Amino acid sequence: MEQTLYDKLGGEETISKVVEYFYHELVLKDETVNVFFERSDMENQIRHQEKFISFALGGPKQYSGKSMAKAHEGMNLQPEHFDAIVKHLHDALAHFEVSEPDIDQALFKVATLKDDIIYK
């Protein structure tokens, strides 16, 4: 059986660290995207993101939140916002010494969601 990217990256423990770092050290400090989280319950946001990333990387947790289109409805996110988030995810994964090929694989999965996120 082939190892999932979720398992290869270290499972739940690593995903939790990556998501915490992603938000607290990168996203919330970036003035181009932090405005989208001003009224967010960040504890809840982090929990949802952990589940979503775990699910996207082949982990056991099932993401049961809103569809990407529904979750981003009314936000009018532009390509530059999406690109900033992708860069922050890259940097968070790199911070935890995930290899570039594995980062590329993870970001490829995120890129497939772009049409469901921008201009909504």
Task: Return binding residues for heme.
Answer: 48, 72
For residue 65, give the nearest of 81, 49, 89 by alpha carbon: 49
Inter-residue contact 69 to 119 (CB < 8 Å): no
Q: Which two tokens stand for residue 83?
A: 């690109």
Q: Which residues are annotated as a binding site?
A: 48, 72
Inter-residue contact 91 to 47 (CB < 8 Å): no
